[in-house]
Chain A
Amino acid sequence: MSLKSYSRARAVHVMLVYTGGCNGCDIEIVNSIFSPKYDAEQYKIFLTWNPREADVLVVTGPVTKHNEKPLKAIYDAIPEPKAVIAAGACALMGGVYKNIHGDIPSEEIAGPVDKIIPVAAKVPGCAVRPEDVLAGAVAALPLLLEAK
């Protein structure tokens, strides 16, 4: 492993963006970072709230109309290399909010996430479990390590 990949694997800065889910995933992700039981820092994952510092963007929620532009702006602010993790059923496919009655799309939802920004890893679950979030962050790592 080159020094570049090694250093990238040893310090991963994660930023969270909530785009209008139900709070469930959001709190589980905060839990996975703040709770001493899961303690993301032991896996070298650090929480940040500044896009300029972040490597990995964790997105939850179905991306409502008002959140579409902020999400894009935050994604653009992250310097390369970067990876996006979509966490939770809503971020993956819009969840229960995407359609009203069969397949009539809801006009409130602009998502799911991969319609707006490229997604590297998808973490399923409603709500995601903290373990799965950490696994998702690890799954997105190769993309970061191999980037130039």
Chain B
Amino acid sequence: MEASTIIYSTAAVIGTIIVAFIVSLWLPGIERKFVHARIQQRIGPPISSPGFMAPLKFFFKETITPNSPVPRLYNALPLVAILSIFFILLFLIPQMYFLGALASVIAIVGLLKVEEVIYVFMGSLSQSVMSLSMPFPDVVKGAKHQKVTRSFLENLSSLRAFRLIAFGSFPLYLAIFVPVAMAGSVFLGDIVSYQQIHGPILFTVAGAIGAIVFFMGYMILLNEYPFAILKTKADVIEGPYMEYAAKYRAYNYIARGFLMFALGALFSVLFLGIPPNLFSVGILVNIVVALLFPIFMAVMSAFSPIFTNKQFYPVVTGLSLLGVLAIIAAFI
């Protein structure tokens, strides 16, 4: 390879990731201001506030030691999340397709799994003041069941995160394998070039079904409202994020926005055949997809209550069946 090619590729990769990062900072604001506030008939916050100014503010707050058995590990987890999302985005960029096995659907599924496993750790490591350690005379004379083990609210969300790993992300992974079935290859490069020849997968029957399943899986992975059982206000308040303060909370905000963009980019690679690349017009498509997904998601979440397991299992089962159908359709 020539030096100029290497410089060009490096610039493309770094540039793309910076653009992704900048776009991702505005996504929560757009969701809140243009969709939620509009549906709820109010003015709503400025678009910079929820996604950009809030994390910035948290960087200027006092760093405290969280109430956690392993505070350092707990604080490091959002960085791990950001890192895994960073790698997802990195492998999606066409200049990185030479990495072989890493630039494949398998690697991406693995990295998304990391994202989910982190919630389990977060939940079990957080011990917020809002539940058990609240100074309140609980175990006193006359109280019920005094010898029961007592646990924190976050342990509950850890348990739920564990369940979500088992079944919650099924639809997303099934949807990811629809293009794989059509292109006959797990490598992103092959999937993209297949679509350049045959047209985007989205416009086939299997692809359309797969896209719907992908979208719902996207909502489940982002824990947005109907599927927000991990961090619902009705019982676990904020779930795994309870103890993050100052800059670590900011990392969480950033990770969420970043994941929204990364999944949007994943969709445009797998279903539209347009990888994120700063030096091609295609990046605009990526940005549009990254904007459209949160908007659809916000519309859904504004109109739905929280799902408990009773609603969650049938929905996931139905979506998984749809995903299987899409894969079968892809083979036909």
User: Does B212 reach chain A (CB closer than 8 Å)?
Assistant: no
Which of A7, A49, A80 is most buried by chain B, counting CB atoms within 10 A of its CB? A7
Closest chain B residue to A37, Cβ basis = B42
User: Does B46 reach chain A (CB closer than 8 Å)?
Assistant: yes
CB distance from B106 to the nearest CB of A (A): 37
Chain B residues near A74: list those with CB within 8 A: 129-130
Q: Contact: A70 with B136, CB < 8 Å?
A: yes
Beyond the given A46-B50, A74-B130, please list 11 additional residue pairs across the A-B interface where CB-CB is below 8 A. A10-B48, A11-B56, A13-B54, A39-B43, A49-B233, A52-B242, A52-B244, A70-B136, A73-B129, A81-B61, A81-B62
Closest chain A residue to B33, Cβ basis = A41
Q: With A73-B129, A79-B63 in contact, is A36–B42 under 8 Å at CB? A: yes
Closest chain B residue to A52, Cβ basis = B245
Q: Which one of A41, A53, A73, A77 lies within 8 Å of B37 (CB-CB)?
A: A41
User: Does B69 reach chain A (CB closer than 8 Å)?
Assistant: no
Chain B residues near A48: list those with CB within 8 A: 238
Q: Contact: A79 with B135, CB < 8 Å?
A: no
Cα–Cα, bound, A52→B233 (Å): 15
Cα–Cα, bound, A144→B61 (Å): 10
Q: Contact: B45 with A41, CB < 8 Å?
A: yes
CB distance from B156 to the nearest CB of A (A): 15
Q: Contact: A7 with B60, CB < 8 Å?
A: yes
User: Does A99 reach chain B (CB closer than 8 Å)?
Assistant: no
Q: Contact: B64 with A73, CB < 8 Å?
A: no
In the complex, per-residue mask of B16-44: 1 if CB is within 8 Å of any chain A CB, else 0: 00000000000000001000010011111
Cα–Cα, bound, A81→B64 (Å): 12
Chain A residues near B45: list those with CB within 8 A: 41-42, 44, 46
**Can you sample 24 A-B contacts with CB below 8 Å?**
A3-B56, A4-B60, A7-B53, A8-B57, A8-B60, A10-B57, A11-B56, A39-B42, A41-B44, A42-B45, A44-B49, A44-B53, A46-B45, A46-B50, A49-B238, A50-B237, A50-B241, A52-B242, A52-B245, A52-B249, A53-B245, A69-B135, A70-B136, A79-B245
Q: With A51-B130, A52-B128 in contact, is A79–B246 under 8 Å at CB? A: yes
Q: On chain B, which size bracket covers the interface?
A: 35 or more
User: Does B224 reach chain A (CB closer than 8 Å)?
Assistant: no
Q: Which one of A7, A8, A70, A79 lies within 8 Å of B134 (CB-CB)?
A: A70
Count the A-B residue pairs with Cβ separation under 8 angstroms: how many? 96
Q: Contact: B53 with A80, CB < 8 Å?
A: no
User: Does B115 reach chain A (CB closer than 8 Å)?
Assistant: no
Chain B residues near A4: list those with CB within 8 A: 60
Chain B residues near A36: list those with CB within 8 A: 40-42
Q: Which residues of B contact A (CB under 8 A)?
A: 32, 37, 40-46, 48-50, 53-54, 56-57, 60-64, 66, 128-130, 133-136, 233, 237-238, 241-246, 249
Chain B residues near A42: list those with CB within 8 A: 42-45
Q: Which one of B50, B63, B134, B246 lies within 8 Å of A11 (CB-CB)?
A: B50
Cα–Cα, bound, A6→B53 (Å): 8
Closest chain B residue to A70, Cβ basis = B134
Cα–Cα, bound, A68→B41 (Å): 38
Chain B residues near A115: list those with CB within 8 A: none
Q: Contact: A11 with B57, CB < 8 Å?
A: yes
Closest chain A residue to B36, Cβ basis = A41
Chain B residues near A39: list those with CB within 8 A: 37, 42-44
Cα–Cα, bound, A53→B60 (Å): 13
Cα–Cα, bound, A48→B307 (Å): 21
Q: Contact: A7 with B130, CB < 8 Å?
A: no
Chain B residues near A10: list those with CB within 8 A: 46, 48-49, 53, 57
Chain A residues near B62: list those with CB within 8 A: 79-81
Which of A41, A51, A72, A73 is most buried by chain B, counting CB atoms within 10 A of its CB? A41
Chain B residues near A79: list those with CB within 8 A: 61-64, 245-246
Which of B32, B60, B64, B244 is most buried by chain A, counting CB atoms within 10 A of its CB? B60
Cα–Cα, bound, A50→B43 (Å): 24
Q: Which one of A8, A13, A50 lies within 8 Å of B130 (CB-CB)?
A: A50
Which of B40, B50, B129, B136 is most buried by chain A, counting CB atoms within 10 A of its CB? B129
Closest chain B residue to A67, Cβ basis = B136
